């Protein structure tokens, strides 16, 4: 009896370790949280400490906690640089139909724009363009590449 | 399975003797293509020379184009010419049927041509070798530079006579020609004959262009251009080269198609993150909003009678196909299968909708009835989309991207075609990489 419970516990512990390991390696190796990219490989900066882009889940345009943090930094930066205007480019990965992805890119770029506007940036300073899946940043056909391509990028235009 | 097959074979043999004349059934995959002999056309010795054209070879060249067209259907088996037993001019007068039957031909095409006063005169005959009868004959006159179209028109007439369906050889394809690396892809509008000949580039590649579609008379094209970094729907006159933006929308317009009467363009307009479907009348410039929903509504396509519109929307959470009346009323979802669905295109016959389906990392091209029933997936691949119908509603052309090169790091995009039976998948020859094909209607009716 005792032996049996011990064995059961051992199996449970072994299972838990396996699952935890799987999670942590997925996060570390790929820079992915779910299928949202969390790494820095493709990221550029508008200014020191102000990342230019945020990433999205497959077929989604909702902003993650980390995306909101990035956009708040962009808003602070834009408030300090009042003469600056930006274009937000919305992009999708290659795993969708072309026309739907154009709409999806537009929705992602607007999600970022709306967030900047709630942090006091005038909509007049922000233009939006969707490239759908036409301008991938990572040209490979891997889940990692797709996650890096599902993005909105804030670009200075003056 | 085996039982089914047996039944099918018996049915075939039972029905075959009932035909007085040979006939080709194109409603099923053809496992037994009809052996057909296409004799070179006889070139009249009185033919005059025309600068830049090799009249002497017209006879053989025209017969080879017909042969290639027929081979491409998968329904016919054009026989090798070296086995032919009669000279073209004699066979054209009256073939010795038993000699042609000896090489197992069931149908024979003969013809002759004459170039005089800068006109090309062509006549051809189609013979049923089993019944020893002439099935059809036709003569026509055109300018000599039109000789390839002559071959396609003859192909259409023969196809029509043997299958009972309209042909699709005298047609053109407009598509996007692609080159360069994936992240800096250069895209140009290109147009070519259905068999890959006569390619012309309509834009220079300075700006991104996508999704060109013919109008019903094949003179105009609507497409998406990123000219001046403003993605908008454009209208292009192929002959004159004049272009204009369609409408005055304060944002991206995309996914354009013509209405079946050619008077309107239907497209999506994206405003503040929401894409809905609009039409614009090209004459009155009146814009109508057709859908009003916070989800993405795009890829609209009219039914051939103009009464209905199919489109895809993610209003259910994921991309699915819907059908509505052309005024936007009575919206019904028609896809409920596992997976997500996009790019619905109504068949020119009105009976089917072609679509792209995505499921478990695979892309499928398929067809279903217009109420969503009877879904059939024709082809599966890593990535393919954008089906376009042949004018007779029997063949779909689409594009497919495949990995290529060492370690599969490169990629290539090509046009493909497949019969709606699911048989006869073929790569379409293009000069460059290619995507977004749109098939014209028949140029001569």
Rounded to the nearest 10 degrees, the angle between the axes of helix A65-80 and helix A98-118 is 60
DSSP label of B56:
G
Count of H-run helices and E-run strands, chain A: 4, 8
Asked if A106's CB is within 8 angstroms of B318's CB, the reply is no
Same domain, A100 and A125: yes
Which residues form the domain of A149? 31-156
Instruction: Quote the pLDDT of residue B18.
Output: 36
Among B318, B356, B408, whose Cβ lies nearest the Cβ of A97?
A: B356
pLDDT tens figures, B65-100? 999 999 999 999 999 999 898 999 999 999 999 999
Question: CB neighbours of A52 closer than 8 A, spacing ≥ 6?
Answer: A43, A44, A45, A46, A74, A153, A154, A155
Same domain, A52 and A100: yes
Domain of A53, CATH number, reads 3.30.1330.60
Same domain, A16 and A79: no
β partners of residue B209: B225
Asked if B185's CB is within 8 angstroms of A97's CB, the reply is no
B383: contact with A, CB 8 A cutoff:
yes
CA distance A81 to chain B (A): 25
Among B296, B343, B385, whose Cβ lies nearest the Cβ of A107?
A: B296
B273: contact with A, CB 8 A cutoff:
yes
Cα–Cα dist B182/A141, whole Å: 11
Same domain, A14 and A92: no
Cα–Cα dist B173/B431, whole Å: 13
CATH 3.40.50.10070 residue spans of chain B? 17-23+32-163
Optimal mutation site among A93, A102, A132, A157, interface B, most CBs of chain B within 10 A: A102
Same domain, A18 and A35: no
A5 pLDDT band (50/70/90 cuts)?
Answer: low
pLDDT over threshold 50, residue A153: yes
A123, A107 Cβ separation under 8 angstroms: no
Cα–Cα dist B356/B378, whole Å: 10
CA of B440: how far to CAs of B66, B85, B192, B426, in Å? 19, 38, 10, 19
Cα–Cα dist B171/B440, whole Å: 6
Asked if B298's CB is within 8 angstroms of A129's CB, the reply is no
Same domain, A62 and A106: yes
ipTM of the complex: 0.91
Instruction: Quote the pLDDT of residue B28.
Output: 64
Largest Cα span, chain B: 73
Contacts of A103 in chain B (CB under 8 A): 254, 268, 270, 275, 296, 298
CATH fold for the domain made of B172-439: Neuraminidase (2.120.10)
pTM as predicted:
0.90
Same domain, A84 and A137: yes
pLDDT over threshold 90, residue A97: yes
Same domain, A88 and A64: yes
Same domain, A65 and A122: yes
Phi, psi of B65 (to 5 degrees): -65, -45
Asked if B296's CB is within 8 angstroms of A98's CB, the reply is no
Domain B17-23+32-163: CATH superfamily, name plus number: TolB, N-terminal domain (3.40.50.10070)
Cα–Cα dist B47/B116, whole Å: 6
pLDDT in tens, chain B (445 residues): 333 433 333 333 333 333 446 677 766 666 789 999 999 999 999 998 888 899 999 999 999 999 999 999 999 999 999 989 899 999 999 999 999 999 999 999 999 999 999 999 999 999 999 999 999 999 989 999 999 999 999 999 999 999 999 999 999 999 999 999 999 999 999 999 999 999 999 999 999 999 999 999 999 999 999 999 999 999 999 999 999 999 999 999 999 999 999 999 999 999 999 999 999 999 999 999 999 999 999 999 999 999 999 999 999 999 999 999 999 999 999 999 899 999 999 999 999 999 999 999 999 999 999 999 999 999 999 999 999 999 999 999 999 999 877 766 678 999 999 999 999 999 999 999 999 999 999 998 6
Please give the tally of structural domains in chain A. 2
Question: CB neighbours of B64 closer than 8 A, spacing ≥ 6?
Answer: none
Cα–Cα dist B309/B48, whole Å: 53
């Amino acid at each position: 009896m005792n032996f049996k419970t011990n064995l059961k516990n051992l199996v449970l512990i072994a299972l838990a370790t396996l699952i935890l390991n799987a999670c942590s390696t997925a996060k570390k190796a790929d820079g992915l949280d779910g299928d949202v990219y969390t790494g820095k490989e493709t990221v550029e900066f508008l200014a020191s400490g102000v990342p230019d882009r945020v990433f999205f889940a497959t077929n989604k345009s909702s902003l993650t906690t980390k995306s909101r943090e990035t956009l708040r930094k962009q808003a602070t930066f834009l408030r300090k640089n009042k003469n600056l205007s930006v274009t937000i480019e919305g992009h999708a990965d290659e795993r969708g139909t072309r026309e739907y992805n154009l709409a999806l890119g537009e929705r992602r770029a607007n999600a970022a724009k709306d967030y900047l506007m709630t942090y006091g940036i005038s909509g007049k300073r922000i233009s939006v363009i969707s490239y759908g899946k036409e301008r991938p940043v990572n040209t490979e056909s891997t889940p990692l590449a797709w996650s890096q391509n599902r993005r909105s990028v804030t670009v200075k235009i003056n | 399975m085996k039982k089914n097959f047996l039944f099918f074979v018996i049915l075939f043999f039972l029905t075959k003797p009932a035909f007085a004349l040979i006939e080709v059934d194109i409603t099923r995959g053809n496992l037994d293509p009809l052996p057909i002999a296409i004799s070179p056309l006889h070139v009249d010795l009185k033919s005059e020379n025309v600068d830049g054209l090799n009249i002497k070879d017209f006879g053989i060249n025209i017969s080879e184009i017909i042969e290639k067209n027929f081979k491409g259907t998968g329904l016919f088996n054009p026989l090798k010419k070296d086995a032919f037993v009669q000279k073209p001019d004699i066979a054209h007068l009256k073939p010795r049927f038993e000699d042609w039957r000896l090489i197992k031909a069931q149908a024979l095409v003969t013809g002759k041509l004459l170039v005089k006063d800068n006109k090309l005169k062509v006549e051809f005959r189609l013979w049923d070798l089993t019944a020893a009868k002439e099935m059809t004959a036709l003569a026509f006159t055109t300018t000599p530079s039109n000789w390839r179209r002559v071959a396609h028109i003859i192909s259409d007439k023969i196809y029509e006579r043997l299958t009972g369906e309209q042909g699709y050889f005298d047609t053109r394809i407009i598509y996007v020609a692609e080159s360069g690396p994936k992240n800096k892809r250069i895209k140009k509008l290109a147009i070519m004959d259905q068999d890959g000949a006569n390619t012309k580039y309509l834009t220079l590649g300075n700006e991104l262009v996508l999704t060109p579609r013919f109008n019903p008379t094949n003179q105009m094209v609507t497409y998406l251009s990123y000219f001046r970094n403003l993605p908008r729907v454009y209208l292009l006159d192929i002959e004159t080269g004049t272009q204009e933006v369609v409408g005055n929308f304060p944002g991206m317009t995309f996914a354009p198609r013509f209405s079946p009467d050619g008077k309107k363009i239907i497209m999506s307009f994206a405003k503040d993150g929401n894409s809905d479907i609009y039409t614009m009348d090209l004459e009155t410039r009146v814009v109508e909003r057709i859908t009003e929903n916070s989800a993405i509504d795009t890829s609209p396509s009219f039914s051939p009678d103009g009464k209905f519109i199919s489109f895809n929307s993610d209003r259910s959470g994921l991309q699915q196909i819907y059908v509505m009346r052309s005024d936007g009323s009575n919206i019904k979802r028609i896809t409920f299968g596992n997976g997500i669905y996009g790019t619905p295109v109504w068949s020119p016959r009105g009976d089917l909708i072609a679509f792209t389906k995505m499921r478990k990392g695979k892309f499928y091209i398929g067809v279903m009835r217009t109420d969503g029933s009877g879904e059939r997936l024709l082809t599966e691949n890593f990535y393919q989309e954008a089906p376009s119908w042949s004018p007779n509603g029997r063949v779909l052309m689409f594009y497919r991207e495949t990995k290529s090169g060492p370690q599969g790091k490169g990629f290539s995009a090509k046009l493909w075609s497949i019969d709606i039976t699911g048989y006869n998948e073929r790569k379409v020859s293009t000069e460059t990489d290619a995507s977004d094909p749109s098939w014209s209607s028949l140029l001569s009716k």
